Structure 1
Amino acid sequence: MARPSKYSAEFGSDAIALWRASAGRRTFEDVAVGLNVNPETLRTWVRDADSPSAAAGASGDAEGEPARLRAENARLLKNEKEWQLEREILRRAAAYSAREMK
């Protein structure tokens, strides 16, 4: 069994936010030294925060999320096909009207 962390959850979330704010400019080690934390500890916090299970835990719905997303994608694809058909009809109508005016 892992021992409890000596850092509070608030400290960990603040450290993650600090690293994300400086991402691309500073490494894990740079940020960790400033916080007096082991770089691997910071890396683990960020990795755990980015994991899908952490995101699902935040929303409280790990099981229904993929099904909901698939249904939403299917609905959006259906709407896109309808819009493409409507656009094609309008394009043809505009071309027909342009021919009639000449």
Structure 2
Amino acid sequence: MRQADRDEGIRNDGGLTTAEKKELTELRRKTRQLELENEILKRAAACFTRENVLPK
């Protein structure tokens, strides 16, 4: 009942609407994915840096 009231704009108690909850979940998923990709890129850059610095 409370959630339905929030979704309809009747209740304004600071809770999130269903659409806002869905958006928040999606944004958190995207953030985790970007953090993982960033970590992979950092490791790859470190690997390439070591390969280019050491004498061959």
Which bin holds the TM-score, normalised by the shorter protein? 0.5 to 0.7
Equivalences, count:
45
- Tell me how far apart the structure 2 counterparts of residues 86 and 100 of structure 1 sit (CA, whole Å): 23
Unaligned runs of 5+ in 2: 1-11
In the alignment, the residues of structure 2 paired with residue 94 and residue 100 of structure 1 have an alpha-carbon distance, to the nearest angstrom, of 12
Q: Tell me the TM-score normalised to structure 2 length.
A: 0.66
**C-alpha distance in 1, partners of 2:21/2:55?**
51
The 5 Å alignment of 1:44-59 reads 54-56=13-15
- The one-letter amino acid paired with 1:77 is R
Quick one: distance in 2 between partners of 1:83 and 1:95? 18
Which 5+ residue runs of structure 1 have no aligned equivalent?
A: 1-52
- CA root-mean-square deviation: 1.9
Q: Deviating runs (4+, > 2 A) in structure 1?
A: none
Alignment of 1:16-31 (within 5 A): none
Percent pairwise identity: 9
TM-score by length of 1: 0.39
